[in-house]
């Protein structure tokens, strides 16, 4: 019985520092390559198909500017055919052919042209903002998934350490029961605790694998399957002050920037439709030749909008501009609220982290030591001692979750202000 108590003393005196060391031993792989958070973000931004598709949209919009800036091509009309005689050949001469060549050059309305080019350029800005939004969203997801993998690995390592120790305790209890030094009820209780620890260990391991697969999915397979994340849940979170962020988020948020560009494009579309009401002019030149004559004529062709003045197209552009403006106002308010919510989540997570670092874990460890001493003197049962240890395990798990929540809240704020490693992204 004395050996059993000594074994329990060794088991319950273990601290989170020892578990952290075991965590490094369980998850360290010499053959695996370690990637920092920024490296994972870079690989994901380079390989993810959504980013590549958004970049193609920018190229399409840039091509639209070229098309909008082009001048209209001239039209050439050629007509030729034989000339039939109505009078005797002595009067008209011999039969011959005649041909007519007409060149029509449209003269574009400069007001409509400038509005069309401006709308196309605004489309490019909207495309770039959409690309930034895809990048910011993916970068934040990659960051959260990377820290989730670290969280699941820490939890799995913690559960593995508990399982290994309970397995050894169960083996010792079995020996004591066989020698008659302990009651068989202690072995039943140890078996129950061991099975529970084994279930938690397997669940934690599967959760870690699930987090690894999710990160591989977001990087489109750019990471090797045996990769490791070079980082920690305790990585420092560096953010500007609340006042600076409140000014920065509405100005830098990609969705707001995109809606602003779309609003400008909608306004220019109104100008384009109104300018199209003005008369359009075509310059014409005609060359006529037959056997006896050659004629060169020039003139103008003017289309006068008398019966229909594009009222439907103008109204459609006005209503579309109002739709974009209302969407912009709502999204600007909504993004502000999302930022305030993310900031409050950050503060809550920070307070929880400070609480755990401020002595809560140490108090739980001290409670385990007191329960251990009481058990030695027979003042507490083994079940009470295990309950105390279970409380410590729960506090350690909550502390890991608090660190993860802090990183997730910081990633959400960076997403709203489009803060990601832009310098690592090839254009």
pLDDT at site 373: 73
For the chain, list residues with pLDDT below 70.
Answer: 1-32, 84-96, 169, 181-182, 372, 375-383, 385, 422-427
CA neighbours closer than 13 Å in the CB half-sphere of residue 344: 5
Give CA–CA dist 56/354, Å, rounded.
Answer: 46
pLDDT at site 331: 94
Name the CATH superfamily housing domain 2-83+96-420: Outer membrane efflux proteins (OEP) (1.20.1600.10)
Site of tokens 């020996």: 175
Residues ≥6 apart with Cβ < 8 Å to 292: 93
Which pTM value belongs to this model? 0.77
pLDDT at site 22: 46
Question: In the 8-state DSSP scheme, what is residue 232?
Answer: -
| Cα 422 to chain centroid, rounded | 13
Q: How much is the CA Rg of the chain, to the nearest whole Å?
A: 38
Burial state string for 23-49 with b = 16 or more CB within 10 A and e = fewer than 16: beebbeeeeeeebebbbbbbbbbeebe
168-188 pLDDT per residue, tens: 767 877 887 777 766 777 778
192-215 pLDDT per residue, tens: 888 888 898 999 999 999 999 999
Site of tokens 């060149």: 103
2-32 pLDDT per residue, tens: 433 433 444 444 444 343 344 444 434 444 5
């Amino acid at each position: 019985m004395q050996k059993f108590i000594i074994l329990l003393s060794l088991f319950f005196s273990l601290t989170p520092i020892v578990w952290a060391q075991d965590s490094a031993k369980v998850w360290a792989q010499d053959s695996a390559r370690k990637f920092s958070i920024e490296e994972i973000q870079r690989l994901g931004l380079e390989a993810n198909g959504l980013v590549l598709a958004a970049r193609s949209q920018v190229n399409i919009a840039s091509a639209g500017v070229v098309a909008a800036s082009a001048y209209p091509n001239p039209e050439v009309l050629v007509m030729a055919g034989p000339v039939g005689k109505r009078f005797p050949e002595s009067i008209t001469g011999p039969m011959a052919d005649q041909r007519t060549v007409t060149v029509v050059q449209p003269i574009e309305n400069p007001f409509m042209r400038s509005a069309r080019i401006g709308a196309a350029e605004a489309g490019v800005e909207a495309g770039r903002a959409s690309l930034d939004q895809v990048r910011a969203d993916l970068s934040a997801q990659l960051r959260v998934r990377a820290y989730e993998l670290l969280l699941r690995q820490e939890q799995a390592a913690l559960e593995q350490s508990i399982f290994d120790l309970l397995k050894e305790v169960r083996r010792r209890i079995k020996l004591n029961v066989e020698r008659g030094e302990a009651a068989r009820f202690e072995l039943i209780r140890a078996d129950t605790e061991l099975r529970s620890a084994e279930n938690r260990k397997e669940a934690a391991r599967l959760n870690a694998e699930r987090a690894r697969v999710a990160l591989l999915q977001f990087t489109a397979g750019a990471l090797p399957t045996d990769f490791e994340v070079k980082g920690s849940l305790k990585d420092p979170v560096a953010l500007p002050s609340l006042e600076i962020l409140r000014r920065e988020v509405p100005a830098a948020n990609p969705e707001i920037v995109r809606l602003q560009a779309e609003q400008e494009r909608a306004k220019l579309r109104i100008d384009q439709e109104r300018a199209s009401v003005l008369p359009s002019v075509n310059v014409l030149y005609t060359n006529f030749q037959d056997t006896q004559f050659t004629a060169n004529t020039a003139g103008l062709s003017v289309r006068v909008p008398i019966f229909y003045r594009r009222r439907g197209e103008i109204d459609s552009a006005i209503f579309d501009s109002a739709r974009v403006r209302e969407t912009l106002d709502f999204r600007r308010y909504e993004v502000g609220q999302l930022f305030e919510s993310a900031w409050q989540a950050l503060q809550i997570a920070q307070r929880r982290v400070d609480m755990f670092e401020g002595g809560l874990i140490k108090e739980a460890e001290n409670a385990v030591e007191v329960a251990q001493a009481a058990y030695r003197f027979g003042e507490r049962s083994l079940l009470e001692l295990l309950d105390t240890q279970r409380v410590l395990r729960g506090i350690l798990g909550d502390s890991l979750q608090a660190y993860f929540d802090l990183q997730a809240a910081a990633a959400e704020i960076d997403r709203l202000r489009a803060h990601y490693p832009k310098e690592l992204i090839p254009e």
